[in-house]
Amino acid sequence: MARATSAALALLIFLLCRHAHADAATTLSQGQSLAGNDKLLSANGAFSLSFFSPRGGDGSRVYLGVMFARAAEPTVPWVANRDAPVRAAAPSYSATVTDSGDLRVLEGERVVWRTNTTSSAGNFTLTIQDTGNLVLAGGGGAQAVHLWQSFDHPADTFLPGMNITLARRNGAVVRQTLFRSWRSPDDPAPGNFTLGQDPLGSAQLFIWRRSEDGRDVTHWRSGQWAKGSFVGIPYRPLNLYGFQLSGDPSQTNGLFYTFQRFNSSQYRFVLQPNGTETCYQLVDATGAWEVVWSQPTLPCQAYNTCGPNAECSAADHCSCLKGFEPKSEAEYSNGVWTQGCVRSSQLTCSERNVSMSGGDGFAVLTGVKLPDLAAWESAVISADACRQWCLANCTCNAYSYSGGTGCLTWARELVDVYQFPAGQFPNGQGFDLHIKVPASLLDSGSKRRTRIIISVVIVLAVVLAACGFLLWKCRRRITEKLGVRGGKKRTGAALMLRPSTMKAKHDFSGPKQPDQEVAENGDGCELPMFTLETLAAATGGFSEANKLGEGGFGLVYKGSLPGGEEVAVKRLSRSSGQGCQEFKNEVTLISELQHRNLVRILGCCIHGHEKMLVYEYMPNKSLDAFLFDPARRGLLDWKTRLHIIEGIARGLLYLHRDSRLRVVHRDLKASNILLDHEMNPKISDFGMARIFGGDKNQENTNRVVGTLGYMSPEYAMEGLFSVRSDVYSFGILILEIITGQKNSSFHNMEGSLNIVGYVSVSHRF
């Protein structure tokens, strides 16, 4: 009995499935009709054509529509009789293909909707392609001709395989694809919102809202197409969804966006009844639709929320662009922004602006949705040329240049500017907008900031110097009370690091000629010793590719030790007696000093005429490589510059006061400040340094060494040096860090011999 029941149940299921398959045909042929619950399926089973009543409605209205067959809830991307629903109470309703090649929706015998196609081809068929495109064809077989397709007459949904087209002739629109929203979620009739390309040919997408007086007013725009996406939709790049721009608005096919399915996932873009454009993705496991993104959902995303010449921020706050002020201060204060802003001061605008100082300039607004009504300057192919073009044209109010958009300029008011929230979107943060303003607005702000920064740094330097002096005086009094002078009984003059004075620890014995060959075995060097072969292998045979720099005492190479540690190898010149002296100074001095802001020496090599020093490697090289390079200068923001200044000050304070040896560097400059991977500064190059005895504050030398421009006047002219000599060099270095200008760059300027003179004249407080 159980077997008989199972067999009967299996037979029943088979018959039901066969009946269902028979009802769900894939082709509606000439003379056939689709009625009631009949369905027309696509070959892949993803789409169907059938009659339906909208969810949430009263069920009195029936429509013919294409539906997603695999969605859990009824989803209708296209409706035939949007304006003319069939009455559900009607005795009969159907869809049929006539002998003349016309697809019609009938209520009884009354035609409520038709494609209005006629053809003598015969053998007419209606099918749904795997993309959801409903196609009416004639002729049959390989000779079939498409008479009509639903993709040319979209409703509210953009599907893969569709185009959004704009074609223009002699400045007039001759063909435009438009999407129309539903009137409400349960009423497919055309609603108040329409989506299509900008009729002016800017390749932007617009949503227009039908006003009460019947006009279409702009509700939203996508922004310019650049780098595979729209500027105003900074989510995931749309080209990753198969969205592409092709064609030319003046050509036959026009300018069109295509949407090609790029993987197994199903996407759709829907213009909602409330005017938002929403991207959905079908979740195969559940059949539910997931929202990918939707716009506009914020006040700032709506068109021109803040009025002309204003920007809308991520906090939905309006503010005038630089160089502009509210047209109505009273309305702006009350949050009524529709009148926007006007220029606070007029441009000096002149064709001579390109070469005139004091003319107009540009204020940069970063990370924005660019304004509407841009003009593309096709002949301009660089950022600098775009800037010059805008400067030279009095009608140009702003410009923007990028590899994706080219040179865009604005001659009219700047409308619909949206400042994207920083760090929120993975597809970048918009584009830079350069707004033309009078140079006076730029200069005043720049000078004011510079003055504030210089004032703060000078006060900081004075406070540090005063604190250092007071601490030094206090320490000296304590040592005098204890009867100790200088801690190590160095009561003579300042000791230069010579073999004779340091011989007990570093025996560079031999004849006393300055260029004497140092003992080949390296006796007296207490640092770790490296063989010549090791350093040659580490530097690739001292190859040009590994050369980091060149100074007066020799070359510096990058090397990699057998353990993988990266080092810097200074190879002193064989013919330089000064290089020999520098070698002795650094071996003696740096091995005695340990501080986070002093470069660390790892070892040395003495082999015949070869003398080399091995230092820790600084990946960011020297400060001057950033400070005086226009391409890299921007990496040094004010926070980083202040951090570098503080680090150098700490290193100097250690040399002058806190170290066991009291050291004057004598060659402090930007190229001798090295930067590690975290931009921490380290003072290097102690070849000219001097050690001072505890009871000496100043010393005289007949041989002045150092770099002109960094030397204090008393040292350069009289040979007098002290810790104050380093403080003077530090001051010059601070001015270079603040201004970004090299001290020597002012030598040829009329009325200013150095950076000190330049600052005193240019920035009077």
Tokens of 468: 């250092």
Q: What is the Cα–Cα distance from 341 to 413, expressed in whole angstroms?
A: 9
CA-nearest of 641, 661, 663 to 652 is 663
Q: What pLDDT, on the 0 to 100 scale, is given for residue 190?
A: 96
Confidence of residue 227 (pLDDT cuts 50, 70, 90): confident
Q: What pLDDT, on the 0 to 100 scale, is given for residue 657?
A: 86
Biggest distance spanned by C-alpha atoms of the chain: 124
Whether residue 218 contacts residue 210, with contact meaning beta carbons closer than 8 Å, is answered with no
Binding-site positions: 570
N-to-C CA span, the chain: 108
Adjacent-strand bridge partners of 418: 312, 369
Q: What pLDDT, on the 0 to 100 scale, is given for residue 753?
A: 53
Binding-site positions for ATP: 570
Adjacent-strand bridge partners of 260: none
> Is the per-residue pLDDT at 413 higher than 70?
yes
Across 691-708, average pLDDT: 59
Mean pLDDT lowest for which of 49-58, 179-188, 323-332, 426-435? 426-435
CA-nearest of 300, 297, 59, 276 to 186 is 59
In 3-state terms, what secondary structure has residue 244? strand
In the residue annotation, 726 being an active-site residue is answered as no
- Run of H or E including 134: strand 134-138
* Residue 733 one-letter amino acid: L
> Is the per-residue pLDDT at 354 higher than 50?
no
Those residues whose C-beta lies under 8 Å from the C-beta of residue 537, and which sit 6 or more positions away, are 562
> Is the per-residue pLDDT at 453 higher than 80?
no
Those residues whose C-beta lies under 8 Å from the C-beta of residue 332, and which sit 6 or more positions away, are 318, 326, 339
Q: What is the Cα–Cα distance from 261 to 265, expressed in whole angstroms?
A: 8
Model confidence pLDDT, tens digit, residues 307-331:
999 999 877 789 999 999 999 888 8
Q: What pLDDT, on the 0 to 100 scale, is given for residue 10?
A: 44
Whether residue 400 contacts residue 444, with contact meaning beta carbons closer than 8 Å, is answered with no
> Is the per-residue pLDDT at 489 higher than 50?
no
* Choice between 424 and 612, residue whose per-residue pLDDT is larger: 612
| Ranges 319-333, 657-671, 739-753, most confident | 319-333
> Is the per-residue pLDDT at 515 higher than 70?
no
In 3-state terms, what secondary structure has residue 261? coil
User: Among residues of the chain, what percentage have pLDDT more than 90?
Assistant: 39
Those residues whose C-beta lies under 8 Å from the C-beta of residue 360, and which sit 6 or more positions away, are 347, 348, 349, 353, 391, 436, 437, 438, 439
Pairing outcome for strands 39-41 and 24-25:
parallel
Tokens of 280: 């959905």
**Residue 433 CA to its chain's centroid (Å):** 14
Across 241-252, average pLDDT: 74
Q: What is the mean pLDDT of the chain?
A: 80
Tokens of 50: 């059938």
Across 741-746, average pLDDT: 72
How far, CA to CA in Å, does 611 sit from each of 110, 572, 615, 648? 105, 6, 14, 28
Across 224-242, average pLDDT: 74
Across 685-707, average pLDDT: 64
How much is the CA Rg of the chain, to the nearest whole Å? 40
Adjacent-strand bridge partners of 293: 279
Q: What pLDDT, on the 0 to 100 scale, is given for residue 451?
A: 64
> Is the per-residue pLDDT at 221 higher than 90?
yes
* Choice between 669 and 8, residue whose per-residue pLDDT is larger: 669
> Is the per-residue pLDDT at 339 higher than 70?
yes
Domains and CATH numbers, the chain: 16-152 (2.90.10.10), 157-297 (2.90.10), 301-444 (no CATH), 454-491+621-762 (1.10.510.10), 499-616 (3.30.200.20)
Confidence of residue 509 (pLDDT cuts 50, 70, 90): very low
Count Cβ neighbours within 10 Å for each residue of 40-69 and write b for 16 or more, e otherwise.
bbbeeebbbbbbbbbeebeeebbbbbbbbb
**Residue 597 CA to its chain's centroid (Å):** 33
- Run of H or E including 470: helix 439-481
Q: What is the Cα–Cα distance from 103 to 120, expressed in whole angstroms?
A: 14
Q: What pLDDT, on the 0 to 100 scale, is given for residue 331?
A: 86
Give me the catalytic one of 360, 416, 667, 726.
Answer: 667
Confidence of residue 54 (pLDDT cuts 50, 70, 90): very high
| Ranges 291-300, 326-335, 534-543, 574-583, most confident | 534-543
* Residue 156 one-letter amino acid: D
Mean pLDDT lowest for which of 504-513, 518-527, 756-765? 504-513
Phi, psi of 206 (to 5 degrees): -125, 150
> Is the per-residue pLDDT at 630 higher than 50?
yes
